[in-house]
Structure 1
Amino acid sequence: MDLEALRARLEVDGQEHLLHFWTSLNDDAKQELIDDVESIDVTRMVLKFRDTMELVKGNLDVCLDEIMKPPPPKIISSSSDCSQETLEKYRKTALEAIAKGKLAVILLAGGQGTRLGVPYPKGMFSVGLPSKKTLYQIQAERIKRLQFLAEELTGVKANIPWYIMTSGHTLVATTEFLASHNHFGLDPSNILIFDQGLAPCFDLTGRILLATESKIAKSPDGNGGLYASLRKAGMLDDMASRGVDCVHVYGVDNLLVKVADPVFVGYCLEQGADCAAKVVAKEMADEPVGVFCDVSGKFQVVEYSEILPATAAKRNEDGTLTFSAGNICNHFFTLEFLQRVCSVENEDKLQYHPATKKIPCMDPQTHVAVPKPPAPNGIKLEKFVFDVFAFATNFRLWQVKREDEFSPVKNADGASKDTPTTAREMLYAFDKSLIEKAGGSFKDSEQNLVVEISPLTSYDGEGLETLVKGKVFDLPCIL
């Protein structure tokens, strides 16, 4: 590209500082910078940044508390309120769909284990179970078990394609890890790994930051980058070619996640939902979790920080929280819905959200490298996976018990919550409850509780009765 033409383009967008080091770069570095500038579409991203910041300012004048409503009861169902017969109907519907190749799974696995104190992807983390299984292995084995159950029900060999969205930090490590473990028994042709997009980082005034003299500072574009990545990586076309009709989307760091949950999927299919979310009831009014709401006729997740404490504390006549449907990043979409929202036109309508961070960079003022900024110095742009709910024509919520299905692993041990220890203890308690429901018992169930059921033995309790009924188990108990 002609240097003067490039400079003129950058000047129009107020980004000519990106060429500050040009004369000191060698030819390879110059080409690297040109490629970087071309890859991010500077004009578009500068406009997106300005629109995002204007939207934030505009939102300060809008009181969400006055316009948000709880989701109407007609779109919410609860696993606790359904009869066993209904739950089994949902389960059977989904297993039949799996046997026909209609269901796929999308794993959001872009996160590094930084907060866990490890230098590798979260999915490779082990919470310390007796089996030493990692999050990736547990989730892979849940998929494998469901394939077995679908085949057992229908007599047809079943496959659940597993689409894994990684980031630049986790792509190679995840690919090599799965391959080195023989993909945990899954057919590698049914595991498709694709990369999350990147967005340029800006300083607080709207100038794109340089990471080095010849490279733009970038960061993953949030889990909402899923939609553009699915389109660009050809994953939607791959799903269509396989005959997939619907997908289950979940985050990697939930130890208790029911991957491709047949009850949830069956509920969505029976309801004709094009978009749905699994939720848990908020434990306390001040729990910092986003809640599902109706805002001006559109369903969305409202973050705890966006509303007043008095609004979060509102209660119904029965004493339950008015805004209680807590988001756990667990979703259902039809392929038709994804194809619609992933179109260039609709995906571009999804708003970025700004996150003020400490970003290593070349200081735009002094042009000196700042590897560890002492204070937040820039803004990362992210999209959220739940921002597509506004496009839904038949949205549904499925409420489940937190203790059965939501145990995130986000922080290292020593933190107050969401640690390997808290997650591990929740899994032990859940697996213990499955054995007791199946007729088993324990000699000492109060102390040193260690109970682990392999997903290959049982997905959520099925088949346990023949193994445990009438038996008394010592602890630790491993099945």
Structure 2
Amino acid sequence: MIMTSIKDQFIDADQPHLFQFWEKLTQEDQALFLEQLSKYPNPRLLCNTVKQAIQLNAESTSGGSSKNASPLPESSCVSILEETASDLKKWEDQGFELFHKGQAAIVLMAGGQGTRLGSENPKGCYDIGLPSNKPVFQIQAERILKLQQLTDEKYSTTGTVIPWYIMTSGATRATTEKFFNSHNYFGLQRENVVFFDQGFLPCFSMDGSKILMKDQHNICEAPDGNGGLYKSMYDSGVLQDFQQRGIKHIHMYCVDNVLVKVGDPVFLGWASSQKYDIATKVVRKRSAHESVGLIVLDRDLNAPSVIEYSEISKELSEKVDEDTGKLHLRAANIVNHYYNVDVLNRMIPEWISSQDFLPFHIAKKRIASLDFKTGELVKPVEPNGVKLEQFIFDVFPSITLEKFGCMEVCRDSEFSPLKNAPGAANDTPQTCLSSILNRSTKWVLENGGLLESPDAQVEVSPLTSYNGEGLEFVRGKVFKNGECI
């Protein structure tokens, strides 16, 4: 009865082609196919929503804004660049207190395959060329180790634990776990590193009318984007693990930011003390036409939102505030967020019970798929279908303005994304390497260290210093280019 119901639902959703080869399949393949389809309990709603998304995407133009956008009110924002040292120290202390009480954890989104990097391995396995040859995962793991050490020193204790939840994808899970195993979890206790997978969404034809198939008993699927984090935390039991461990506050970030302050105590302390439901870090937009999304106030909804660079008119993107001389909209989204766990526990079940709670974003792609006339797999040379993504920030408008915070941080200290292959114009291994070495060298010079030549650069290990602290020992010492501290 259940098997018939699944078939009927997809046929009713105008997808009878999925069963063109049904009678030729073995009973085992039929069962596996239906198991795959059962992940999508309302196919008619899914298909209709995809068609609407494709239509909206076709109607949109890059010349105008889709939102009535303005900057967030000052009451919602702070800037690390402008705050007093005493406030920063207060927030940092509050963050370390959360670690000491075992109430804070870290969520890493690491589902990317690194294809744009030209790598066969996940981005976190990539070696950007540091003198130490540490891959991205190791750099981030060691920042957690350092936070645990600093917390123990601050409270004269031992055994502080900051759990690390890592969202992988079907394409990266096995490789990522193998990498962690081969490196003995970089010194972290393996029971405190929790892997879980993001979900998938079907791939559709260009007009959204048909779900594509990769063979006679499997539909084409692709990762559901960073917006899949919410459902994945629910489905995988991560939310329940938060509860069992007593976790109340989360710092979430993306693997490809090599400068990220993993578990930043200042950010956690500020956001939790303000009793925000969600907070976000931003960097100041480099120029009027930098291709970045922006954190804004949607005035029609009176709610926080993200506006994509393609949605901003030339006039609005170039608008400058007369009193400050700064761009009117300048808060660049870097996908670096704080979450109150009580809010996640309350809202995620509500969000995912409504299958259309997050809009679909459309990407036209070349998708290897089944030719129904020949029954063979075809690898197209031009885009032949759409992959669907959901974005993590599309939940922002569901948060009331007074429960949302925005912290501006320094780009040179906290944001350098690893996206493109060596030789590209930006966001490459070379730019990431330069960002880390520039920050490390700055810390050494600020603490009285000396360089053997003006252009020398050094690497400061995360195990030595989390944010430039504890480097008094470098005073008066001369460091060679490429030296590790």
Per the normalisation by structure 1, the TM-score is: 0.94
1:329 aligns with 2:335: yes
Inter-partner Cα distance in structure 2 for 1:81 and 1:3: 61
Equivalent of 2:160 in 158, 163, 178: 158
The residue type equivalent to 1:409 in the other structure is: L
Q: How far 1:450 sits from its partner (Å)?
A: 3.2
**Residue 374 of structure 1 aligns with which residue?**
381
The residue type equivalent to 2:335 in the other structure is: C
**Residue 171 of structure 1 aligns with which residue?**
173
**Residue 28 of structure 1 aligns with which residue?**
28
Inter-partner Cα distance in structure 1 for 2:60 and 2:332: 22
Partners of 1:209 and 1:364 within 8 A in 2: no
Equivalent of 2:466 in 459, 467, 470: 459
Partners of 2:249 and 2:339 within 8 A in 1: yes
Inter-partner Cα distance in structure 2 for 1:177 and 1:347: 35
Partners of 1:40 and 1:200 within 8 A in 2: no
| SS of aligned partner of 1:104 | strand
Q: How far 1:457 sits from its partner (Å)?
A: 0.6
| SS of aligned partner of 2:367 | coil
Inter-partner Cα distance in structure 2 for 1:323 and 1:35: 47
1:387 aligns with 2:394: yes
1:12 aligns with 2:17: no
Distance 1:244-1:8 versus aligned 2 partners, 3 A rule = closer
Inter-partner Cα distance in structure 2 for 1:246 and 1:363: 49
More displaced, 15-24 or 56-65?
56-65
The residue type equivalent to 1:34 in the other structure is: L
Alignment of 1:186-265 (within 5 A): 186-205=188-207, 206-265=209-268
**Residue 273 of structure 1 aligns with which residue?**
276
Inter-partner Cα distance in structure 1 for 2:425 and 2:57: 31
Partners of 2:67 and 2:307 within 8 A in 1: no
Q: How far 1:7 sits from its partner (Å)?
A: 4.8
**Residue 472 of structure 1 aligns with which residue?**
478
Partners of 1:341 and 1:388 within 8 A in 2: no
Identity %: 40
Q: How far 1:62 sits from its partner (Å)?
A: 12
Partners of 2:33 and 2:218 within 8 A in 1: yes
The residue type equivalent to 1:430 in the other structure is: R
Inter-partner Cα distance in structure 2 for 1:56 and 1:332: 30
Inter-partner Cα distance in structure 1 for 2:371 and 2:292: 35
Partners of 1:65 and 1:308 within 8 A in 2: no
| SS of aligned partner of 1:333 | strand
**Residue 75 of structure 2 aligns with which residue?**
74
Deviations 1:179-216 (A, max 9, x none): 12111111111111001001111112321110111111
**Residue 91 of structure 1 aligns with which residue?**
92
Distance 1:11-1:65 versus aligned 2 partners, 3 A rule = closer
Alignment of 1:354-369 (within 5 A): 354-363=362-371, 367-369=375-377
Deviations 1:323-378 (A, max 9, x none): 1000111000110121233114456312222222111111357654212x121111
Distance 1:428-1:21 versus aligned 2 partners, 3 A rule = same
| SS of aligned partner of 1:340 | helix
Partners of 2:63 and 2:310 within 8 A in 1: no
Q: How far 1:475 sits from its partner (Å)?
A: 1.7
The residue type equivalent to 1:325 in the other structure is: A
More displaced, 11-20 or 437-446?
437-446
Specify every segment of 5 or more residues in structure 2 that has no aligned partner in the other structure, as ranges.
Answer: none
Q: How far 1:118 sits from its partner (Å)?
A: 1.1
Deviations 1:299-338 (A, max 9, x none): 1111101122222111111321111000111000110121
**Residue 319 of structure 2 aligns with which residue?**
314
Distance 1:208-1:65 versus aligned 2 partners, 3 A rule = closer
**Residue 124 of structure 1 aligns with which residue?**
125
More displaced, 9-18 or 158-167?
9-18
Alignment size in residue pairs: 475
Partners of 2:458 and 2:479 within 8 A in 1: no
| SS of aligned partner of 1:332 | strand
Deviations 1:234-255 (A, max 9, x none): 1111101111110000000011
Distance 1:213-1:104 versus aligned 2 partners, 3 A rule = same
| SS of aligned partner of 1:374 | coil
Partners of 1:407 and 1:423 within 8 A in 2: yes
Q: How far 1:56 sits from its partner (Å)?
A: 4.2
| SS of aligned partner of 1:165 | strand
Inter-partner Cα distance in structure 2 for 1:244 and 1:321: 38
Specify every segment of 5 or more residues in structure 1 that has no aligned partner in the other structure, as ranges.
Answer: none
Q: How far 1:381 sits from its partner (Å)?
A: 1.5
The residue type equivalent to 2:258 in the other structure is: L
Inter-partner Cα distance in structure 2 for 1:235 and 1:422: 34
